[in-house]
Amino acid sequence: MSLLVVGLSHRSAPVSVLERASLAADAQVKLLHDTLAAEPAVEAAVLATCNRIELYADVDKFHAGVAELSTLLSLHSGVGLDELTPYLYVHYEDRAVHHLFSVACGLDSMVVGEGQILGQIKDALALGQELHTAGRLLNDLFQQALRVGKRAHSETGIDRAGQSLVTFGLEQLAEGRDPGVWAKGKRALVIGAGSMSSLAAATLARTGVAEIVVANRTRARADRLVEILGQTGAGSVAAHAVEMADVSGELTRADVVVSCTGATGLVLSAQDVAGALGLDFAPRDAPAAPVAAPPVELDLHAAWVENGSVAAQAQAVRRVTVPAQSTGPVRLALLDLAMPRDIDGDAAGLDGVRLVDIESLAEASADAPMAADVDQVHTIVADEVAAFGAAQRAAHITPTVVALRTMAAGVVAGEIARLDGRLPDLDEKQRAEISQTVRRVVDKLLHAPTVRVKQLASEPGGAGYADALRELFDLDPLTVAAVSRADLNDPNRGRS
């Protein structure tokens, strides 16, 4: 079996496609079940964030796997396959491992070095474990990705290369000023109470806003976030929760709004924003024609013709089109971190409004300077990919080695039983000494070959040693498979 990832992200697809392709929680569950039901896959995990959707699988056929996973992503995202295909990237085996480790370190994030992705990878693993779609390979892969990400953050200054999306967004709202100075004394409205909204509320509290109002569709979650703010040293900030129905009224009092919900439609229309500011707003009669997008080079895209072949493509990435911002003093600052978007992009053109969203953050971060520590993280990732590959190749031969030793133990037991029949007068001490001697001889004969074969199997191209061992010792394939299943079903495996 082999590791395959098919996905799209802010680096490969326009925000408009990512918005439409976003997967709700129930869609992720159905996607995982359908992936396992598909013939090429035996394990599956999905990593779905505001700016990436990736499907990981252990497959036995590369081309069939790419076609099947791409079709499933199209089916569950609702984006047609012909439209989705140009934006997909494909990584296989070591490249797939390298990709996930890079993602875990924040190297592939919109803001390089941000650490929130670790929590999202942990959630992806937890879902795969809960649904029993993540087996030995994906458990090992995601657990190791979490360790690699933590290592990168603890051993390097990758955190200095970028900030969380929230911090970066607030810096963009502040337009070059110190966010702490810019936010001091402001009234903030946070819409949503999930992980990103919680991070936004905590960040706003640290920057010195005077008041935080939390609105959420489930009032209990909004109340809980307010309670957490009071428990984490943000008690100096006046914080309270409101119903979503009260957002319009709170909007008239707010200086800054951060929105990140799971809504599939707009939470704030341009008309809502205009009304809160007492402005007239006339919606556009028709959407503007899309801007032609110049191609940007990608590592690998999935595309195939009718016969199912896969080809690399270097197409599909665009420069985002950021709505024109109004000029003059800012009366209301809007930060939209949702995917799909929560706030109508037309609000950016209203007098006194500044809007920063995922698109404008992508545009701003594209030119952000990279920290020197990024090179060190690339080295860590490369080393960890090599180590993971060696460990997986060594693990692949372990069931065969165990089956060989089991067979040898059976031969020893049979010969001892035969000796008992031929020499029934041996006392217990003599029988035990002979048994121990025979076992020692067998162990010594097997020790060097089994240690060496594990070493050879861990090297690139070493996958064939397990087959050679099975052939040389005529090992029963069913016995080897039984050892593999026992290892896979170990309840302590893959847990941290």
- Cβ within 8 Å of residue 150, ≥6 positions away: 118
Q: Which ranges of 259-357 would DSSP assign to H, the alpha helix?
A: 270-276
* Peptide bond just before 460 cis, omega within 30 deg: no
Q: How far apart are CA 402 and CA 480, in angstroms?
A: 8
Q: How far apart are CA 393 and CA 466, in angstroms?
A: 10
Distance of CA 261 to the CA centre of its chain: 19
DSSP string, 36-49: HHSTTEEEEEEEEE
Amino acid at 17: V
Indicate the helix (H) or strand (E) that contains 268. none
Indicate the helix (H) or strand (E) that contains 31. helix 25-37
Terminal alpha carbon distance of the chain: 25
Nearest to 117 by CA among 156, 158, 154, 165: 165
- Cβ within 8 Å of residue 352, ≥6 positions away: 277, 279, 326, 328, 329, 330, 331, 332
Could you identify the residue written with the tokens 């992705």? 117
User: Distances from the Cα of 82 to the Cαs of 85, 86, 87, in angstroms?
Assistant: 6, 8, 10
- Cβ within 8 Å of residue 256, ≥6 positions away: 173, 183, 186, 187, 188, 189, 204, 209, 332, 333, 334, 335
The first and second tokens of residue 246, run together, are 């009260």
Which sequence positions are flagged as catalytic?
50
Q: How far apart are CA 71 and CA 34, in angstroms?
A: 11
Could you identify the residue written with the tokens 């594209």? 366
DSSP assigned state of 244: G
The first and second tokens of residue 157, run together, are 């200054």
User: Distances from the Cα of 264 to the Cαs of 12, 167, 359, 382, in angstroms?
Assistant: 22, 25, 17, 38
Amino acid at 20: R
**Burial tier of 471 (Cβ tally within 10 Å: 0-12, 13-18, 19+):** exposed
Amino acid at 189: L
Q: How far apart are CA 130 and CA 25, in angstroms?
A: 13
